[in-house]
């Protein structure tokens, strides 16, 4: 079996993968100059891809999948596969019979911690009070609406998507004595630390109950643009919205209008919009309306998983996918090419 790493893997990473796989497995990686070692140039990898049985990757150079005619399994070192869907990889895998796996849950700890950081930062007006300290100006008048922190204790947090990230957010929220409700496709499946589960058709009813809403659902054709004008109108004006899913799950214009009109108290995100060439015009990434610059918005740019332990765990879990395939057993983290998760 030949395994191709689609990044400029260091020797320790190559040795780890080779050592975890059955004897005789060949593990190769591109060599060349790079700006980021976690992607690679087509010219550095095309000669390695033609006879690869397996690919493990954080990114995919254009043209590589087309030349990988012997590919049998693709281990994606991310949780979401919407990027692969948009580049046509899911359709190609389905046509060729290629198995697709991801590492859902590998970054759940880091991303859930980021979500709770956002919840606390919004509630406690962290940036406002930090900036006031820098200016040596204590927020005044005390207890005024614009200066008073919100509380988590006894409040209700809604989590849209109760996978490994969402369920961990629920566990953290319970540590703050919060009431936790969830929204998921399979309403009937109970989740630890979640007090009530709603179906996606009950989304508006769930949103109306929440003081905080965390969006943690995968971005699929069903969930893209899920949160729009009607959903934001269903929320309390005092509520906070946090997005750790994908930018496309929330519609930008209604969000901007809610944040600037007093319909929504605040917003935080680690994920932003991507207006891809050919899918939108003009193309670009980030907020077209400068949502990130609004005074009631805080955020980071795809940094939730940029944390201790994550890269090592990603490679370990991605390698486990390949090992399961090599042994002929069931694939624990196989992705449905139909559903996209």
Q: Is 18 helix (H, G, I), strand (E, B) or coil?
A: helix
Structural domain contains residue 38: yes
Spatial CA neighbour of 261 closest among 227, 235, 226: 235
DSSP characters for 272-294? --EE-BTTBSS-EES-TT-GGGS
Last residue of a domain, one of 262, 280, 299: 299
Structural domain contains residue 101: yes
Q: What is the pLDDT of residue 340?
A: 84
Do 144 and 203 fall within a single domain? yes
Do 127 and 39 fall within a single domain? no
pTM of the model: 0.88
Do 284 and 316 fall within a single domain? no
Do 286 and 314 fall within a single domain? no
Q: What is the pLDDT of residue 193?
A: 97
Q: What is the pLDDT of residue 281?
A: 86
Structural domain contains residue 145: yes
Structural domain contains residue 120: yes
| Rounded CA separation 117/298 (Å) | 11
Structural domain contains residue 237: yes
Cα–chain center distance at 129: 29
CATH code for the domain of 196: 3.40.50.720
Do 114 and 137 fall within a single domain? yes
Domains held by the chain: number = 2
pLDDT in single tens digits along all 341 residues of the chain? 999 999 999 999 999 999 999 999 999 999 999 999 999 999 999 999 999 999 999 999 999 999 999 999 999 999 889 889 989 999 999 999 999 999 999 999 999 999 999 999 999 999 999 999 999 988 889 999 989 999 999 999 999 999 999 999 999 999 999 999 999 988 888 899 999 999 999 999 999 999 999 999 988 888 999 999 999 999 999 999 999 999 999 999 999 999 999 999 999 999 999 888 788 888 888 999 999 999 999 999 999 999 999 999 999 999 999 999 999 999 999 999 988 88
| Rounded CA separation 160/245 (Å) | 9
DSSP characters for 236-271? -TT-EEEE-S-GGGB-HHHHHHHHHHTSSSEEEES-
CB 248 within 8 A of CB 285: no
76 half-sphere exposure, CB direction, 13 A CA radius: 26
| Rounded CA separation 236/223 (Å) | 22
Token reading at 189: 């499946």
| Rounded CA separation 244/221 (Å) | 18
Spatial CA neighbour of 40 closest among 57, 26, 54, 27: 57
What residues form DSSP beta bridges with 157? 180, 212
Q: What is the pLDDT of residue 302?
A: 93
Structural domain contains residue 279: yes
Do 100 and 209 fall within a single domain? no
Do 278 and 146 fall within a single domain? yes
Residue written as token pair 């919009």: 273
Do 167 and 60 fall within a single domain? no
Q: What is the pLDDT of residue 278?
A: 82
Do 94 and 150 fall within a single domain? no
Query: Rounded to whole angstroms, what are the CA distances from 162 to 92, 196, 338?
Result: 29, 12, 20
Do 229 and 267 fall within a single domain? yes
Do 203 and 222 fall within a single domain? yes
CA 75, 286, 253, 268 torsion-angle sign: positive
Do 89 and 175 fall within a single domain? no
| Rounded CA separation 224/221 (Å) | 6
CB 186 within 8 A of CB 170: no
Range of the domain at 25: 2-106+308-326
Q: What is the pLDDT of residue 221?
A: 82
């Amino acid at each position: 079996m030949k395994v191709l790493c689609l990044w400029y893997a260091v020797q320790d990473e190559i040795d780890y993968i080779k050592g975890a796989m059955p004897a005789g497995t060949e593990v190769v990686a591109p060599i060349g100059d790079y700006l980021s070692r976690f992607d690679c140039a087509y010219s550095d990898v095309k000669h390695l891809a033609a006879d690869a049985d397996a690919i493990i990757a954080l990114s995919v150079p254009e043209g590589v999948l087309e030349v990988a005619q012997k590919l049998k399994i693709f281990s994606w070192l991310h949780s979401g596969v919407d990027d692969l869907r948009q580049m046509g990889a899911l359709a190609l895998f389905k046509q060729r019979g290629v198995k697709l796996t991801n590492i859902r849950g590998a970054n759940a700890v880091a991303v859930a911690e980021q979500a709770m950081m956002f919840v606390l930062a919004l509630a406690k007006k962290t940036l406002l009070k930090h900036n006031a300290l820098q200016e040596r100006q204590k927020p005044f008048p005390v207890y005024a609406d614009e200066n008073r922190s919100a509380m988590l204790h006894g409040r209700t947090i809604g989590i849209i998507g109760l996978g490994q990230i969402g369920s961990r957010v629920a566990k953290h929220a319970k540590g703050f004595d919060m009431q936790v409700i969830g929204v998921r496709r399979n309403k009937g499946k109970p989740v630890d630390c979640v007090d009530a589960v709603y179906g996606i058709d009950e989304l508006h009813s769930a949103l109306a109950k929440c003081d905080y809403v965390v969006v943690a659902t995968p971005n699929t054709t069903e969930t893209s643009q899920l949160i729009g004008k009607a959903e934001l109108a269903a929320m309390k004006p005092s509520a906070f919205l946090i997005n750790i899913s994908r930018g496309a799950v929330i519609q930008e214009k209604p969000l901007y209008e809610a944040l600037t009109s007093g319909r929504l108290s605040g917003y935080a995100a680690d994920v932003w919009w991507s207006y891809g060439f050919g899918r939108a015009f003009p193309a670009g990434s980030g907020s077209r309306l400068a949502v990130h610059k609004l005074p009631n918005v805080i955020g980071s740019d795809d940094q939730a998983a940029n944390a201790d332990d994550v890269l090592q765990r990603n490679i370990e879990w991605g390698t486990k996918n390949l090992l399961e395939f090599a042994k002929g057993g069931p694939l624990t983290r196989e992705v449905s090419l139909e559903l996209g998760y």
